[in-house]
Amino acid sequence: MTKVITLCVGTGTNKKITMVKPVLAKYENQINVFSEFLEDLPDVDEPVWILGACYDLKTKKPELLSDVRSRLWFTYRKKFSPIGGTGPSSDAGWGCMLRCGQMILAQALVSRHLGRDWRWDAEKRQPKEYHRILHCFLDKKDSCYSIHQMAQMGVGEGKSVGEWYGPNTVAQVLKKLALFDDWNTLAVYVSMDNTVVIEDIKKQCKQPGRESRSRAGPCGQGEVPASGQSCSEAQGKTLNLQSQRPLDWRPLLLVIPLRMGINSINPVYIQAFKECFKMPQSCGVLGGKPNLAYYFIGFIDDELIYLDPHTTQQAVDTDSGSAVDDQSYHCQRTPHRMKITSLDPSVALGFFCKSEEDFDSWCDLVQQELLKKRNLRMFELVEKHPSHWPPFVPPTKPEVQTTGAEFIESPDKLFESEEEFEILNV
C-alpha cells in the first residue's frame, strides 16, 4: 500500500498522508487496481468461460469484466464482534476456505433471486433481494451465513474456531446452516464417495407446498379442525389434500467434493474439469493450493480464473434491514489467474439448479460431456440409491430453539468423511 499512497498523495505533507490513510483503507479494493494494472488478461484467441457464460476477449472484454465484478466477493475481515463472545475478531490467516464457501453459496442465492444475467453497478440502486442476500453474510452472529455461524457450526465437524478448513468440511457446514434459512429454502446436497444419486437429490428437493405448511393449526398439520371434528380427522383431511397437491422443488446447490489426484491434479481430468465451468448450472469450484483457498469461477486456455479472499478489510457495520455499503463486496481488480496444473487435487464442484427441469438438463450434460466422452470419470452419476449404502434421509431442521451453530447432526455421520476423500482411479 505504500507505493499506492505515494501515487495518490504525491509530495503532500505527513498530515495529509495521515488524513488520507483511513480513506485508502476503506477503498483498498478499488485503489489496488492500479498496482495490479499490469496483470491484464492474456491476448489469446481462446474464449473465456465464467460460470456458464462464454466471452470473446477481443469483442466482449467489458462484459466479461462486468460479470466478474458482479460476483459477491468475501474476504478476510477484521474488527467484527468476537466469535462465540470470546473468540477471534478477525479471520485473517484461517478463514479463507470459509469465505470461499460463502462465495459459492452467495452465487447460488444470486442466481435464485436475481438470475445469472444480473449485473452489479456501483452507480445504480440494487434490488431489495440483493441487499437481503448481503445481510445473510455480514460478519454478525445473527446473520445466517456469517463467519460466526460457519466457524461455530464447524465445531460439529471437528474443526476448532480458527482452524483451517478443506472443501468438503465447508460443504458440510453449508448443508447444515441451510436448514435454518427459511427465506431461501435452499436444498444443499453434498455427494459422497464421488457419486451423485439422482433419486436422493429429487427426494431432498421435493416437498409439500409451502402454503400448506405455513398455515399450521393446533394439530401441527396445517389444518384447523372444524367444529365437531377431531384432530385425527383434520390431519387425515390435510394429508389427503397434500397428497393431491403437486410437490414443490426446492432450489438446489449441488456440491461434489473430489480428489483428482494424489499430490497434484492428474492431467487426465483437466478437460472434464474445464467442461464444468461451461455448464449453465455452474456455481464455481472451491479449491486452491495447500492452505490457500480460492473461489474458481472460470478459465481461459490453461489458466483458471478465481476470486481471492486473502485481503483483510474492515468489517461492515450496518443496521438490520438497511442497505449495505457494498463497495468492498465486489472485486474491481483484474481477475486473478493460475495454471490449472498448479491446482491442489482436493476440490469441490458447485452447481445450482433452480428447477427440476434445470437439474434434469444438468444430468444430461454430465452424461454427454463428462461420462460418455471420458475414459476416467471425475465422479459417477447414478439413478438409484446404492443398495450397500444406509437409507437416505433428507436433512431437516431440528426441532430446537437455536441458531444452528450448536447443532451437530449425527445419523449419517459415519458416511460424511470430512477431508477423507476417496482417491479417483488413475
Rounded Cα distance, 348 and 170, in Å = 9
The cell for 301 is 486456455
CA nearest neighbour of 269 among 212, 164, 382, 345: 345
Closest CA to 88 of 134, 150, 27: 150
Residue 182 annotated in active site: no
Residue from 276, 308, 330, 344 carrying the catalytic annotation: 308
Please state the separation of Cα 379 from the chain's center in Å: 20
Task: State whether the Cα torsion 399-401-403-406 is positive or negative.
Answer: negative
310 is catalytic: yes
Beta strands in 30-76 (DSSP E): 48-50, 53-55
Closest CA to 424 of 276, 298, 267: 267
Instruction: Identify residue 284 by its one-letter amino acid code.
Output: G
Pairwise CA distance, residues 309 & 98, whole Å = 9
* CB 210, CB 146: distance < 8 Å: no
In angstroms, the CA 372 to CA 8 distance is: 56
Helix, strand or coil, per DSSP, at residue 145: coil
Longest CA–CA separation in the chain, Å: 87
The residue from 96, 205, 283, 353 that is catalytic is 96
Adjacent-strand bridge partners of 293: 288
DSSP labels for 72-105? B----EESPPPGGGTS-SB-TTT-HHHHHHHHHH
| Residue 85: all three cell numbers together | 463472545
Cβ–Cβ under 8 Å, residues 313 and 29: yes
Active site residue 344: no
Beta strands 282-289; 380-382: pairing state = unpaired
| DSSP, residue by residue, 241-278 | HHHHSPPEE--EEEEEEEE-BSSSB-GGGHHHHHHHHH
310, 363, 385, 412: the catalytic one is: 310
Tell how strand 380-382 and strand 195-197 pair up: parallel
Catalytic annotation, residues: 96, 308, 310
